[in-house]
Amino acid sequence: MPEKPVFFDEMRGPSGDETRDPYIDYCAWISTEDVNHLRRKSAQAEALFRLTGITFNVYGMEDQTERLIPFDIVPRIITAKEWAVLEKGIEQRVRAINSFLHDIYHRQEILRAGRMPVEMIAQNKAFLPQMIGVAPPGNIYTHIVGTDLVRTGENDFYVLEDNARTPSGVSYMLENRETMLHMFPELFSRNRVRAVSHYPRSLRRSLSASLPPVCDGAPTLAVLTPGIHNSAYFEHAFLADQMGVELVEGHDLRVVNGRVAMRTTQGYQPIDVLYRRVDDDFLDPLNFNPDSMLGVPGILDVYRAGGITIANAPGTGIADDKAIYSYMPEIVEFYTGEKAILKNVPTWRCSEADALAYVLDHLDELVVKEVHGSGGYGMLVGPATSKKELAAFRRKLEAKPANYIAQPTLSLSTVPVLTRAGLAPRHVDLRPFALASPQGVEIIPGGLTRVALKKGSLVVNSSQGGGTKDTWVLED
Amino acid sequence: MRLKIKHTTSYSYDAPVPYALQQLRLRPKSRSTQTVHSWQVEIRGGRRQVSFEDEHANSVDLISFDPGVREINVTCQGEVEVRDTAGVVGRHTGFVPLWLFQRTTPLTEAGPRLRALVAAFEKPEDSLAALHALSEHVLTHVRYDTEQKATDIGSEAVVEAGYGVCQDHAHVFIAAARALGYPARYVSGYLMLDDRTEQDASHAWAEAHVDGLGWVGFDISNGMSPDTRYVRVATGLDYLGTAPVSGMRFGKGREHMRVRLHVEQ
Amino acid sequence: MLGKTANGVFWLMRYMERSENAARMIDAGLRISMTRSSAAESEWTSILTAMGLLGTYLGRHEVVEGPRVINFLLRDTENPGSVLSSVETARTNARMVRTALTREVWEAVNECWMVLRDTLARPVASQDLPEVLKIVRQRSAYVRGATHGTMVRNDIYDFARIGTFFERADNAARVLDVKYYILLPSIMHVGTATDNVQWETILRATSAVRAYQTLHEGEYDPRKIARFLILDRRLPRSLAFCYGKIADNLSYLAEDYGQRMPSHDMVQRISDRFASTSIDQIFDYGLHEFVTEFLSDSQQLGRQIEIDYRFYE
Using one digit for the tens of pLDDT, what is the confidence trace for B91-128?
999 999 999 999 999 999 999 999 999 999 999 999 99
Best mutation target among B47, B62, B63, B93 (most A Cβ atoms within 10 Å) is: B62
A285:B248 CB<8 A: yes
Going residue by residue through chain B, which has 265 residues, state the pLDDT in tens, using 9 for 90 and above: 999 999 999 999 999 999 999 999 999 999 999 999 999 999 999 999 999 999 999 999 999 999 999 999 999 999 999 999 999 999 999 999 999 999 999 999 999 999 999 999 999 999 999 999 999 999 999 999 887 666 678 999 999 999 999 999 999 999 999 999 999 999 999 999 999 999 999 999 999 999 999 999 999 999 999 999 999 999 999 999 999 999 999 888 899 999 999 999 9
Contacts of C250 in chain A (CB under 8 A): none
Instruction: Give the global pTM.
Output: 0.93
Chain A partners within 8 Å of C257 (Cβ): 265-266
C32-39: long-range pairs with CB below 8 Å, 24+ = C32/C197, C32/C198, C32/C201, C33/C66, C35/C197, C36/C194, C36/C197
Write down the pLDDT at residue B151.
Answer: 65
Say yes or no: B40 and B75 in one domain.
yes
CB-CB neighbors (< 8 A) of A260 in chain B: none
* Residue of chain A whose Cα is closest to the Cα of B248: A286
- HSE-up (13 A, CA, CB side) for residue A222: 23
In this prediction, residue A123 has a pLDDT band, given cuts at 50, 70 and 90, of: confident
Residues 6+ apart with CB under 8 A from A476: A80, A81
Inter-chain Cβ pairs, chain A and chain C, closer than 8 A: 58
The answer to whether B46 touches B66, Cβ cutoff 8 Å, is yes
Asked if C259's CB is within 8 angstroms of A265's CB, the reply is no
* Mutation choice for C interface testing from A265, A275, A277 by most C CBs within 10 A: A265
The nearest CA of chain C is from the CA of A55 a distance in Å of: 12
Interface chains of chain C (3 or more CB pairs under 8 Å): A
What residues are paired with A225 via a beta bridge? none
Residue B113 shares a structural domain with residue B179 = yes
Number of structural domains (chain B) is 2
Distance CA C128, CA C37 (A): 20
Chain C: residue nearest A247 by CA? C99
Q: List all residues 6 or more positions away from B126 whose beta carbon is below 8 Å from its beta carbon.
A: none
Return the CATH number of the domain spanning residue range A346-408: 3.30.1490.270
Q: In angstroms, rounded to a whole number, what is the distance separating the alpha carbons of residues A471 and A169?
A: 13
Q: Whole-angstrom Cα distance, residue C311 to residue C3?
A: 4
A228/C92 Cβ within 8 A: yes
pLDDT digits (tens, 9 = 90+) for A317-357: 999 888 899 999 999 999 999 999 999 999 998 988 999 99
pLDDT digits (tens, 9 = 90+) for A408-466: 988 899 999 999 888 999 999 999 999 999 999 999 999 999 999 988 887 787 777 78
Rounded CA gap, A310 and B264, in Å? 45
pLDDT one-digit tens code per residue, C153-191 = 999 999 999 999 999 999 999 888 887 777 776 555 545
B108 and B22 in a common domain: no
Q: What is the domain range of residue B104?
A: 88-241
How far B96 CA sits from the closest chain A CA (Å)? Answer: 7
B92 and B208 in a single domain? The answer is yes
> Per-domain residue ranges for chain A?
21-212+308-341+410-473, 346-408
Amino acid letter, residue B86 = A
pLDDT tens digit string along C183-220? 776 555 545 566 677 778 788 888 888 888 888 877 77
B70 and B163 both lie in a single domain: no
Q: What is the pLDDT of residue A60?
A: 47
Find residues 265-304 of chain A whose CB sits inside 8 Å of chain C: 265-267
CA distance A225 to chain C (A): 11
Contacts of B248 in chain A (CB under 8 A): 285-286, 290, 297
List the CATH number of the domain containing B159: 3.10.620.30
Q: At what angle do helices A233-243 and A199-208 cross, to 10 degrees?
A: 80
Q: Which residues of B touch A (CB under 8 A)?
A: 19, 21, 23, 49-55, 60, 62, 64, 94-97, 99-100, 102-103, 237, 247-248
Distance to chain C for A56, nearest Cα, Å: 13
Q: Could A246 and C313 be called an inter-chain contact, meaning their C-beta atoms sit closer than 8 Å?
A: no
Contact A297 B248 (CB under 8 A): yes
Q: Looking at the structure, tell me whether residues B219 and B185 fall in a common domain.
A: yes
CB A336 within 8 A of CB A152: no
Q: Which residues of B touch A290 (CB under 8 A)?
A: 248
Do B248 and B128 have their domain in common? no
Q: Do C257 and A264 touch (CB under 8 A)?
A: no
Contacts of A233 in chain C (CB under 8 A): 95
C contacts of A63 (beta carbons < 8 Å): none
Q: Does A262 touch chain C (CB under 8 A)?
A: yes
In angstroms, the separation between the Cα of residue B51 and the nearest Cα of chain A is 6
Distance in Å, alpha carbon of B248 to nearest chain A alpha carbon: 6
Which residue, among A336, A330, A281, A356, has the nearest Cα to A130 in the 3D structure?
A281
> What interface predicted TM-score (ipTM) does this complex get?
0.94
| Three-state secondary structure of chain B | CEEEEEEEEEEEEEEEECCEEEEEEEECCCECCEEEEEEEEEEECEEEEEEEECCCCCEEEEEEECCCEEEEEEEEEEEEEECCCCCEEECCCCCCCHHHHHCCCHHHCCCHHHHHHHHCCCCCCCHHHHHHHHHHHHHHHCEECCCCCCCCCCHHHHHHHCEECHHHHHHHHHHHHHHCCCCEEEEEEEECCCCCCEECCCEEEEEEEECCCEEEEEECCCCECCCCCEEEEEEECCHHHHCCEEEEECCCCCEEEEEEEEEEC
Residues B120, B216: one domain?
Answer: yes
**What average pLDDT does the structure give for chain B?**
94
Q: Which of C2, C110, C113, C253 to mutate to test the interface with A (most CBs of A within 10 A)?
A: C2
Share of chain A above pLDDT 90, in %: 74
How many residues belong to chain A? 476
Q: Are residues B103 and B221 in the same domain?
A: yes
Best of A286, A293, A300 to mutate (most B CBs within 10 Å, chain B): A286
Nearest chain A alpha carbon to C93: A228
Question: Where does chain C show beta strands of DSSP type E?
Answer: none
Q: Are C48 and C57 in contact (CB under 8 A)?
A: yes
pLDDT of residue A402: 84
pLDDT at A1: 39
Statement to judge: residues B160 and B237 lie in one domain: yes
- In CATH, what number is assigned to the domain containing residue B28? 2.60.40.2250
- How many angstroms separate the first and last alpha carbons of chain A? 35
Q: Does A178 touch chain C (CB under 8 A)?
A: no
Residues B96 and B151 in one domain: yes
Q: Which of A53, A240, A249 sits opposite C110 (nearest CB)?
A: A53
> CB contacts < 8 Å between A and B, how many?
69
For testing contact with chain A, the best of B21, B47, B50 (most A CBs within 10 A): B50
Answer for the pair C246, C166: CB distance below 8 angstroms, yes or no: yes
Mean pLDDT of chain C: 91
Question: Smallest CA–CA separation between B23 and chain A, in Å?
Answer: 9
Of A50, A233, A264, the CB nearest to C2: A264
Cβ–Cβ contact A229 with C under 8 A? no
Split at pLDDT 50, 70, 90, the class of A377 is low
Q: How far is C145 from chain A (nearest CA, A)?
A: 17
Structural contact between residues B263 and B199, judged by C-beta atoms closer than 8 angstroms: yes
Tell which residue, A194, A140, A48, B121, has the closest CA to residue C103: A48
For residue A210, what pLDDT is reported? 96
Question: How far does the CA of residue A238 sit from the closest CA of chain B (Å)?
Answer: 32
C205: closest CA of chain A, how far (Å): 31
Q: What whole-number distance in Å separates Cα of residue A321 and Cα of residue A307?
A: 29
CA–CA distance from B77 to each of A50, B4, B5, B36, B190 (Å)? 64, 8, 5, 11, 12
- C68 near C94, Cβ under 8 Å? no
